Amino acid sequence: MSLVVVGSVAFDSVETPQETRENVLGGSAVYFSYAASFFTGVRLAGVVGEDWPPEHTHLLRGRNIDLAGLQTVPGGKTFRWRGRYLADMNSRETKELHLNVMENFNPVLPDHYRRCPFLFLANGSTDIQLKVLDQCPGATLAVADTMDHWIASQRDLIDEMLRRIDGLVLNDTEAKLLTGEQNLVTAGKRTLEFGPRFVVIKKGEHGAMFFSKHECYVLPAFPTAHVVDPTGAGDSFAGGMMGYLAQQREFDPEHLKLALAYGILTASFTVEGFGLDGLIAISRDDIERRMTEYRKMLSF
């Protein structure tokens, strides 16, 4: 079953201790879509400039990613981000941010997007996320990501969004900021009180935690020695998770836990390559093989 994602499409310039690459295809909606495409068809909504090359369209269409909702702004430039990872590959600093066409992004979803039951609001301005929710009143599972910037600057809108979505995905720092709680178990449970039926706290190399009314659990990340570029790991996690749920058309507790595991494993491939390379190199079979290893790792 198809899955709609609305988010950023970007050219990333990424500096790691080993390597620097310029203008790599990235953005939250791109990582999400590619990750989800191992599981289901994806409909991407976003905006690019005239500098968007046809090979990127080709690459995404080849993954069964619908680009009917990808706007091109004549004369505009695509969103650009430059970041640098520190030696531990966990912390990073943003060196440049050019919103370009994202500055006036106003998502208008094609009709067949609006009828999709599965919706993911990738990280972006909360007012945009709310505009998307307005267009998809019939979504059976609407999940959002957010980040510290929006939590700090658009708290009223964040609160409105939290009342309207089914699930929230955010990282550990953001969960602490959102709730004022330092303990992640408490922060996850407090976040539920704001409205969503479930909350996922991403912990990067330490895995992810899940919270719902009756459940609280944590799954570790898949251990990998080959962390090449962590960019897009969080979006790939969400893509794997939502892709699996959309494929299964179920989101009971059992499927949600499996979805969390698929999200973790999909992201583990993303960090093993630069940009999308880690995902481009694999097939669904590779994810399943890693799932077998992961289950074995967690059984005793």
Chain contacts with a copy of itself (rule: CB under 8 A): 87-89, 182-186, 189, 203, 205-207, 209, 216-221, 223-225, 227, 254, 257-258, 261, 295, 297-300
Strand 198-202 and strand 208-212: the pairing is antiparallel
**150 within 8 A of 144, measured Cβ to Cβ:** no
The nearer residue to a copy of itself, 6 or 187, going by C-beta atoms, is: 187
- What minimum distance in Å lies between the beta carbon of 223 and a copy of itself? 5
- What minimum distance in Å lies between the beta carbon of 9 and a copy of itself? 30
The nearer residue to a copy of itself, 150 or 294, going by C-beta atoms, is: 294
- What minimum distance in Å lies between the beta carbon of 263 and a copy of itself? 12
**25 within 8 A of 275, measured Cβ to Cβ:** yes
The nearer residue to a copy of itself, 73 or 291, going by C-beta atoms, is: 291
- What minimum distance in Å lies between the beta carbon of 172 and a copy of itself? 10
C-alpha–C-alpha distance, residues 155 and 2, integer Å? 31
The nearer residue to a copy of itself, 66 or 272, going by C-beta atoms, is: 272
- What minimum distance in Å lies between the beta carbon of 244 and a copy of itself? 11
- What minimum distance in Å lies between the beta carbon of 253 and a copy of itself? 10
| 3-state per-residue secondary structure call for the chain | CCEEEECCCEEEEEECCCCEEEEEEECHHHHHHHHHCCCCCEEEEEEEECCCCHHHHHHHHCCCEEEEEEEEECCCCCEEEEEEECCCCCCEEEEEEECHHHHHCCCCCCHHHHCCCEEEECCCCHHHHHHHHHHCCCCCEEEEECCHHHHHHCHHHHHHHHHHCCEEEEEHHHHHHHHCCCCHHHHHHHHHHCCCCEEEEECHHHCEEEEECCCEEEECCCCCCCCCCCCCHHHHHHHHHHHHHHHHCCCCHHHHHHHHHHHHHHHHHHCCCCCCHHHHCCCHHHHHHHHHHHHHHCCC
The nearer residue to a copy of itself, 1 or 297, going by C-beta atoms, is: 297
The nearer residue to a copy of itself, 133 or 169, going by C-beta atoms, is: 169
- What minimum distance in Å lies between the beta carbon of 242 and a copy of itself? 17
C-alpha–C-alpha distance, residues 168 and 199, integer Å? 5
- What minimum distance in Å lies between the beta carbon of 86 and a copy of itself? 9
C-alpha–C-alpha distance, residues 87 and 297, integer Å? 28
The nearer residue to a copy of itself, 167 or 204, going by C-beta atoms, is: 204
The nearer residue to a copy of itself, 106 or 299, going by C-beta atoms, is: 299
